[in-house]
Amino acid sequence: MNYLFRLTLLSTLLVCNATLFAQDKQTLPEDSKYHDGVPKGEIIGPIKWESKIFPGTVRDYWLYVPEQYNKEKPACLFIAQDGLNRAKGWHIPEILDNLIHKNEVPVQIGIFISPGVVPAANSNAQARFNRSFEYDALGDRYARFLIEEIIPEVKKSYNISDDPNDRAIAGASSGAICAFTAAWERPDQFRRVLSTIGTYVGLRGGDAYPVLIRKHEPKPLRVFLSDGRNDLNLYGGEWFVANQAMLSALEFSGYEVEHRWGDGGHNSKHAVQIMPDAMRWLWKNYPEPIQAGTTENRRTDLLIPNENWEAVSSGHRFTEGPVANDMGELFFTDIPNGSIHKISADGTVSTFAENSPGVNGLMFGPDGKLYACQNGNKQIVRYTMSGEMEAVCKGVESNDLVVLHDGSGYFTDPNNKKVWRFSPDGKTSVVDTGIERPNGVIVSPDQTLLTVSDTAGRFTYSFQIQPDGKLAHKQAYGHLHLPDSTGNSGADGMTVDTEGRLYVTTRQGLQVLDQPGRVHLIIDKPQDGWLSNVVFGGKNFDTLYVTCGDKVFKRRVKATGVQPWKAPVKPPKPRL
**Closest to 524 in 3D by CA, of 542, 511, 543:** 511
Cα-based torsion angle of the residue sequence 248, 252, 254, 256 in order, rounded to the nearest 10 degrees: 0
Letter string b/e over residues 148-168, b meaning 16 or more CB atoms within 10 A of that residue's CB: ebbbeebeeebebbeebbbbb
**Closest to 559 in 3D by CA, of 575, 572, 576:** 572
Letter string b/e over residues 307-339, b meaning 16 or more CB atoms within 10 A of that residue's CB: eebeebbeebebbbbbbbeeebbbbbbbbebbb
Q: Which residues contact 311 (CB under 8 A, 6 or more apart)?
A: 526, 551, 552, 553
Ligand-binding annotation for 439, yes or no, is yes
Strand partners, 401: 411
Helix (H, G, I), strand (E, B), or coil: what is residue 372? Answer: strand
CA distance 469 to 409: 9
Q: Residue 371 to residues 333, 367, 432, 453: CA-CA distances in angstroms?
A: 12, 10, 21, 20
Is the dihedral angle over the CA atoms 153, 154, 160, 161 positive or is it negative?
negative
Cis check: omega of the bond before 46, within 30 degrees of 0? yes
Strand partners, 340: 333, 353
Ligand-binding annotation for 492, yes or no, is yes
- Helices and strands: H and E segment counts in the chain: 10, 36
Q: Are strands 222-228 and 256-262 parallel, antiparallel or unpaired?
A: parallel
The three state secondary structure string of 291-357 is CCCCCCCCCCCCECCCCCCEEEECCCCCEEEEEECCCCCEEEEECCCCEEEEECCCCCEEEEECCCC
Residue count of the chain, please give it: 576
Is the dihedral angle over the CA atoms 73, 78, 82, 84 positive or is it negative?
negative
Strand order in the sheet with 349-353: 319-324, 330-334, 339-343, 349-353
Is the dihedral angle over the CA atoms 478, 484, 486, 491 positive or is it negative?
negative
CA distance 425 to 138: 50
Helix, strand, coil shares of the chain, percent, nearest 5, are 20, 35, 45
Q: Choose the catalytic residue: 492, 497, 542, 550.
A: 492
**Closest to 559 in 3D by CA, of 527, 516, 513, 525:** 513
Q: Is 492 a catalytic residue?
A: yes
CA distance 2 to 512: 72
User: Could you give the residue numbers annotated as active site?
Assistant: 492
State the binding site for a divalent metal cation: 439, 492
